[in-house]
Amino acid sequence: MSSATISDENMGSLTPVNTLPSINMSPPRASAEAASGSNKRKRGKFRENERKKVSRVRARGACARCRVYHLSCDLNFPCSNCVRVAESATAFTQPCYHDPLDNVISFRMGNSRANQPQSQLPLLRWAADEQTTRRIYVEFPFLGIPSSCRPRMPVDCRKFVPRDSDILEDVWEGSDGDKLTLTFPPFACEEPEDLRASLESYIEKCSGLLEHDLGMETADVISAATFAEAQRYAQINHDSAVANALRIRIIAYFSRESMAIVGHESLGIPVVDDQRFPIYGQVPVPSVLDFQIDTTAIHIMTKLMEGATKRLKRVVFGRKNKQGWYEVYLTCFVLLESLEKVYSLQAYYSGINEHMGGNTFANISYTSRTMMDRWRYSADNLLYHYRCILRAMDPFSFAWDALGSVDDVAKANLDPEAVLYMQKMCKHLKEEREFFKVSREEVVNGFTDDTSL
């Protein structure tokens, strides 16, 4: 997303709270009160109609405002609590909203060429005439690093008997707009669990290189400073939502590019010798194996996303939740940037496959639009919950150079480095106010008027 959009929305840190139950016995006074029968009256059972209502509300989910203030929500939309305060609210002014954070997805969860909005590993028919495996080595095309210096990942492949639904072709666009379509031999990995273990190890080993490549794409001041701050924050707070969001970001970047085969075993696939195409000088990975690697990466990101949203819910709807704005801000910034990138790339990918025959392009177009709708929804969902935790507070409006004037809630849980970051951002926002105003209007108008997606 553009820096103007993010900085204007104002998006947060929370010291982990010990939620373990106490094992201490009740104090003597409490025990005496319990014995005398003066303890608090227990809640009675719900009547049948109340029980059904509570069950339906729980199934649908309470609205965000009721969850923040721990109120009893109802089945109306907007709910009665939101209607009651609609004209008088001064802190929580957001509309009634029931959609959970669990619905947020900040990466490509499906594969348009396979016509899968949510990727699943293929069930392959292994060839009876070739039951041995062939070990190949694959590598990621890191920027500015020669092939001889890149980390490699071993993959044991086996021949399979393709079905009509198995796509054995892939397409690349050249510098002059021409298309390169390759047909691959039917080889894939027979053991998906081994592939996942190898991929997790490879990404862990290459995380620094992936972050370096991502850093080369970051040009504006706000993005560069915020990603540096997010990485610093995550190194200190390993269990934060920020740490998961950053890991999703590097794996999403990994998924943007296909790996290449290196070494003596190439499965009979030739080197691409046309300089017009981005895979010039490479031996591309066969399409079904590439799909397996991509799907495995998606499954890893899905697990990380579950952890990130679980943590965000604890912060947004927990006690003293407003003090956790900084962790929510950094997390939303990282996830929204990933959303912007994957959205634009999917639009581009859909366009370069227009010439694919049969139902392939129709599947790509339909699945792409489905995923892109989900990303737009996810962006709205994230921004709502960020505003939800801020309520009437605008952290970027404070004079952070005069720390004593900053709201105590805004600076709670911020260490000296975080304060320095806020000082730098507020200064930059003030200096570039007119530029951001114009940029924001252009982004909003362009996003609203784009009916082609």
pLDDT of residue 15: 36
Is 199:296 a contact under the CB 8 Å cutoff?
A: yes
pLDDT tens digits, 337-384: 999 999 998 888 777 666 666 666 777 788 888 899 999 999 999 999
pLDDT (0 to 100) of residue 360: 66
Rounded-to-integer distance, Cα 339 and Cα 303, Å:
17
Q: Which of 242, 283, 297 is nearest to 107 (CA)?
A: 297
Say what the pLDDT of residue 356 is.
Answer: 60
Identify the CA nearest to 161 among candidates 207, 124, 211, 116.
Answer: 124
- Whether 144 and 174 have beta carbons less than 8 Å apart is answered as no
Residue numbers of the domain that contains 214:
125-449
377 found inside a domain = yes
The partner residues of 107 in beta bridges, in order of sequence, read none
Task: Tell which residue, 338, 349, 244, has the closest CA to residue 300.
Answer: 244
Residue 32 lies in a domain: no
The Cα-based distances of 126 to 38, 133, 216, 223 in angstroms read: 72, 11, 42, 47
Report yes or no on 340 lying in a domain: yes
Q: Measured between alpha carbons, how far is 243 from 229 in angstroms, rounded to an integer?
A: 12
* 215: in domain: yes
pTM over 0.85: no
In a domain, 96, yes or no: no
In whole angstroms, what is the distance from residue 269 CA to residue 188 CA? 13
pLDDT attached to residue 55: 78
**Burial environment of residue 307 by CB neighbours within 10 A (0 to 12, 13 to 18, 19 or more):** middle
Contact 172, 278 (CB under 8 A): yes
Q: Any idea what DSSP says for residue 76?
A: S
**Both tokens assigned to 55:** 């069950």
| 439 assigned to some structural domain | yes
pLDDT at 19: 35
Burial class of residue 33 in the structure, from the number of CB atoms within 10 Å of its CB (0-12 exposed, 13-18 middle, 19+ buried): middle
Please identify every stretch of the chain with a pLDDT value under 70, giving residue numbers as ranges: 1-50, 352-360, 392, 446-453
Note whether residue 47 is domain-resident: no
Q: What is the pLDDT of residue 403?
A: 87
**Does 8 map to a domain?**
no
Domain tally for the chain? 1
